[in-house]
């Protein structure tokens, strides 16, 4: 067992505040870091200590300055680092430096960050564990001839994806052979810009699937459990917009099978801490491994709402060497939860980011309503970071109740001074197809084509 007295979070915004809150409840001191642009950010004041990081560097680069983060840890007796999501959350170099300096990294082992950070290697590991796979290449494609040969062999559509990365960058769907070469070159170019690596692989495209992810937790004693699934099908350009748990389209039998499959994948490599196995579910209820995320996710609150667990606290306990505090038999789904991501963006202008000053904020409340945010009256939303302002999460006794509660909460939420996607979220929740559970990854282009301009 390891003792954790002080945790540093090399992150910003709502996730930093979320982690600080869990630490405070556990009696653990907290350390924030902030860029010079974030001197007035709320996360700075929510920690016990706060220090400028990456002095002289660009806004995002400041939070990626591993050596300066390690310096702050050593100078201020930090025991552990929790990276949150984004920034350095899946960075093997940070985890390795923590290991070298005797700092606890609250996340998976270095080897697992490397293993699943490479999407092709992740496919190989899943295949070894006999997880259902989408037909694809288990190595980077060497040239366009190989791409063309694969597309001719399995048929269109196909997906070209960056080996290193995520968030839809370096990814292209190809429906016509005449577009294949251009899409291949665009994917490589975007991957190079975003991740510094132009390598891509190719796989068969599952048409209009549901995007289902299974939350898992593993400890260093070999115990692994799953916390059931989240339906993350509603996306725009491969970016999640709204998430919910459980998935309305999954039977108890399929839920059990997907959960057991996720556990098998994690146990096959000795995985520790929080992770998410992402699957695509086709119209015939066949599911296929897509990737594994080796971190806590933006949408983790919906899992917390339906299980009653605090996933951040569980991560900290696991990192300290404790055994999981529950078994699979202790995990029960209660009710239904939905999360809406409220962003500073204008849907009517192709979701153009809308930084600026927030002049007034009013957040909803009531039974089963949760707000995770870092904004406040007169907060200046910077142009340098992700546009998410807050996460609105609701919990109801069933899906119908949760939808009604979310619509009510969205109606109460007020953010003035800048444009947001609040009304767009309300449109989604009010659509007949959504209310029937008729959702897939093509939901927004199908029902809201006016918001899909290139």
Tens digits of per-residue pLDDT, 358-405? 999 999 999 999 999 999 999 999 999 999 999 999 999 999 999 999
Q: Using one digit for the tens of pLDDT, what is the confidence trace for 326-361?
A: 999 999 999 999 999 999 999 999 999 999 999 999
Q: Residue 48 burial (CB < 10 Å; 0-12/13-18/19+)?
A: middle
- Per-residue pLDDT band for 165 (boundaries 50, 70, 90) equals low
Q: What pLDDT does 379 receive?
A: 97
Residue 15 or residue 452, greater confidence: 15
DSSP states along 305-343: HHH---HHHHHHHHHTTPPPS--GGG----SEEEEEEEE
Which structure tokens are listed for 18?
């979320």
Neighbouring residues of 206: CB distance < 8 A, sequence distance ≥ 6:
134, 280, 282, 288
Q: Which residues are catalytic?
A: 295
Q: How far is CA 387 from the centre of its chain?
A: 15
Q: Using one digit for the tens of pLDDT, what is the confidence trace for 106-163?
A: 999 999 999 998 888 888 899 899 999 999 998 899 999 999 999 999 999 999 999 8
Contact present, 78 and 241 (Cβ < 8 Å): no
Residue 452 has pLDDT above 90, yes or no: no
Contact present, 283 and 243 (Cβ < 8 Å): no
Burial 244-256 (b: 16+ CB within 10 A, else e): bbbbebbeeebbe
Rounded to whole angstroms, the Cα distance separating 240 from 233 reads 7
Which structure tokens are listed for 302?
């919906």
The total number of residues shown for the chain amounts to 454
Q: Using one digit for the tens of pLDDT, what is the confidence trace for 287-301?
A: 999 999 999 999 999
DSSP states along 34-91: E-GGGTT-HHHHTSSEEEE-STTS-HHHHHT-HHHHHHHHHHTT--EE---SSTTTT-
Rounded to whole angstroms, the Cα distance separating 262 from 282 reads 17
Q: What pLDDT does 163 receive?
A: 87
Q: What pLDDT does 217 receive?
A: 98
Which structure tokens are listed for 85?
């999501």
- Kind plus residue range of the DSSP H or E element containing 218: strand 210-218
Which structure tokens are listed for 158?
């196909």
- Region 45-67: what's the mean pLDDT? 97
Q: What pLDDT does 454 receive?
A: 56
Does 404 sit behind a cis peptide bond, omega within 30 degrees of 0 on the bond before it? no
Contact present, 116 and 122 (Cβ < 8 Å): yes
Rounded to whole angstroms, the Cα distance separating 124 from 446 reads 34
**Closest of 360, 387, 390, 386 to residue 374, by C-alpha:** 390
Q: What pLDDT does 435 receive?
A: 96
Residue 167 has pLDDT above 80, yes or no: no
Residue 137 or residue 43, greater confidence: 43
Residue 300: count of CB within 10 angstroms of its CB: 28
Residue 453 has pLDDT above 90, yes or no: no
Please tell me whether the overall predicted TM-score, pTM, comes out greater than 0.75 for this model.
Answer: yes
Q: Tokens 């007020």 identify what position? A: 414
**Closest of 150, 152, 153 to residue 161, by C-alpha:** 150
Residue 50 has pLDDT above 80, yes or no: yes
DSSP-assigned letter for residue 324: P
- Kind plus residue range of the DSSP H or E element containing 433: helix 432-435
Enumerate helices (H) and strands (E) in the chain, giving the number of each.
Answer: 16, 24
- Per-residue pLDDT band for 169 (boundaries 50, 70, 90) equals confident
Q: Using one digit for the tens of pLDDT, what is the confidence trace for 73-117?
A: 999 999 999 999 999 999 999 999 999 999 999 999 999 999 998
Q: What pLDDT does 196 receive?
A: 84
- Region 407-423: what's the mean pLDDT? 98
Backbone angles phi, psi at 308, to 5 degrees: 80, 10
Q: Using one digit for the tens of pLDDT, what is the confidence trace for 186-232?
A: 999 999 888 888 999 999 999 999 999 999 999 999 999 999 999 99
| Pairing status of strand 49-52 against strand 29-34 | parallel
């Amino acid at each position: 067992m390891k003792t954790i007295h002080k945790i540093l979070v090399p992150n910003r915004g709502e996730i930093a505040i979320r982690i600080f809150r869990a630490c405070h409840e556990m009696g653990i001191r907290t350390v924030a870091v902030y860029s010079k642009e974030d001197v007035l950010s709320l996360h700075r004041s929510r920690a016990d200590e706060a220090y400028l990081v990456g002095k002289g560097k660009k806004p995002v680069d400041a939070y990626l300055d591993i050596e300066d983060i390690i310096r702050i840890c050593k100078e201020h007796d930090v025991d552990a680092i929790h990276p949150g999501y984004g920034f350095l959350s899946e960075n093997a170099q940070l985890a390795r430096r923590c290991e070298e300096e005797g700092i606890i990294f609250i996340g998976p082992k270095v080897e697992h960050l490397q293993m699943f950070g490479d999407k092709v290697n992740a496919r190989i590991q899943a295949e070894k564990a006999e997880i259902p796979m989408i037909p694809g290449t288990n190595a980077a494609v060497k040239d366009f001839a190989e791409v063309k040969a694969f597309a001719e062999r399995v048929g269109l559509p196909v997906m070209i994806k960056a080996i290193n990365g995520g968030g839809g960058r370096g990814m292209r769907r190809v429906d016509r052979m005449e577009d294949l070469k251009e899409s291949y070159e665009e994917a490589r170019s975007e991957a190079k810009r975003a991740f510094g690596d132009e390598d891509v692989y190719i796989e068969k495209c599952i048409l209009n699937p549901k995007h289902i992810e299974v939350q898992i937790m593993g400890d260093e004693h070999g115990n692994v459990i799953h916390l059931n699934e989240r339906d993350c099908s509603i996306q725009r350009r491969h970016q999640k917009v709204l998430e919910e748990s459980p998935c309305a389209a999954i039977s108890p039998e399929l839920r059990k099978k997907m959960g057991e499959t996720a556990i098998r994948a994690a146990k096959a490599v000795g995985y520790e801490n929080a992770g998410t196995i992402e699957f695509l579910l086709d119209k015939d209820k066949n599911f296929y491994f897509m990737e594994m995320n080796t971190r806590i996710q933006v949408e983790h609150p919906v899992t917390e709402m339906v299980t009653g667990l605090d996933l951040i606290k569980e991560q900290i306990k696991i990192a300290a060497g404790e055994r999981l505090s529950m078994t699979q038999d202790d995990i029960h789904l209660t009710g239904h939860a939905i999360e809406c991501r409220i962003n500073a963006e204008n849907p009517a202008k192709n979701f153009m980011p809308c930084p600026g000053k927030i002049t007034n904020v009013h957040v909803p409340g009531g039974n089963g309503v949760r707000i995770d945010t870092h904004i406040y009256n007169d907060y200046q939303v910077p142009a340098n970071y992700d546009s998410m302002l807050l996460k609105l999460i609701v919990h109801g006794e069933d899906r119908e109740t949760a939808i009604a509660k979310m619509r009510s909460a969205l109606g109460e939420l007020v953010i003035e001074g800048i444009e947001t996607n609040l009304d767009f979220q309300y449109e989604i929740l009010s659509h007949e197809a959504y209310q029937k559970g008729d959702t897939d990854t093509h939901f927004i282009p199908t029902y809201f084509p006016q918001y899909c301009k290139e």
